[in-house]
Chain A
Amino acid sequence: AQKITQTQPGMFVQEKEAVTLDCTYDTSDPSYGLFWYKQPSSGEMIFLIYQGSYDQQNATEGRYSLNFQKARKSANLVISASQLGDSAMYFCAMREGQGSNDYKLSFGAGTTVTVRA
């Protein structure tokens, strides 16, 4: 079964507008972490934001915020005030467990975001 599901293969957004990228996850482990990475056309993987399963508040990092709905098992990424440089592929990922076994990340298939001027 897929651990991370990203249902939007591609999205277009107007410059300066906000965009929400969907991510749902599947785990029975009470301890897990959720990540979003950005992959521009140059190919590198850039860490954006992290949410721990026990975190009470939604994570924010600059223009990125994570809408964490634990009961629905969703961790949507919101990018506010989109810029042309935000055009990239975005991946949601999860790490399960804690301690010495929680090193493995499971990735979704990604969402391509294209920002229009």
Chain B
Amino acid sequence: NAGVMQNPRHLVRRRGQEARLRCSPMKGHSHVYWYRQLPEEGLKFMVYLQKENIIDESGMPKERFSAEFPKEGPSILRIQQVVRGDSAAYFCASSQAAHGTAYGYTFGSGTRLTVV
């Protein structure tokens, strides 16, 4: 049973380019969460999605960031016109139920975005 798959593992973008980060949840999981980890910090919640729905995007920057979880295919976190401050590790987690379980969430290995 494959875990949460994120790709790419590392992504380098020049300032002004677009970054697309992909997350395939665990089999049977229909809830996806994105977190961002800035250097030397803990993870911070960005967005919670269910299939075709954004449930909570309170942690997303208002501009340039968007997320989707289509009926088919992985969840995508999209960052337009990247800036140096977007350099971070982006983690995806998935769960089977709408609310958390005692065993936390299964996180993917993350995508490390570097903006040059």
A-B contact count (CB 8 A): 68
Q: In the complex, what residues of A have CB within 8 A of residue B100's CB?
A: 33, 95, 102-103, 105
Q: Which of B33, B35, B106 contacts A47 (CB 8 A)?
A: B106
Given known A43-B89, A45-B43, contact A50–B110 (CB-CB < 8 A): no
Flag if B99 contacts A50 (CB, 8 Å): no
A30 to chain B, nearest CB (A): 16
From B48, B89, B103, B108, contact of A50 by CB (8 A):
B103
Q: Are B91 and A45 in contact (CB under 8 A)?
A: yes
Most buried by A among B41, B100, B108: B100
Interface residues on A, range: 20 to 34
Answer whether A105 and B109 are a contact pair too, CB < 8 Å, given A33-B100, A47-B104, A100-B98: no
Q: Is residue A99 contacting chain B, with contact meaning CB distance below 8 A?
A: yes
Bound Cα distance A36, B40 (Å): 17
Contacts of B42 in A (CB 8 A): 4, 91, 93, 107-110
Determine if B109 and A43 form an interchain contact, defined as CB atoms under 8 angstroms apart.
Answer: yes
Q: Is B2 part of the contact surface with A, judged by Cβ < 8 Å?
A: no
The residue on A at minimum CB distance from B6 is A44
List the interface of chain B (C-beta within 8 A of A). 31, 33, 35, 40-45, 48, 56, 89, 91, 95, 98-100, 102-110, 112
A interface residue numbers (CB < 8 A to B): 4, 33, 35, 37, 42-45, 47, 50, 52, 91, 93, 95, 98-110
Nearest 10 A/B pairs, CB to CB: A107-B42, A45-B107, A44-B109, A47-B104, A107-B43, A35-B104, A104-B45, A102-B99, A95-B100, A50-B102
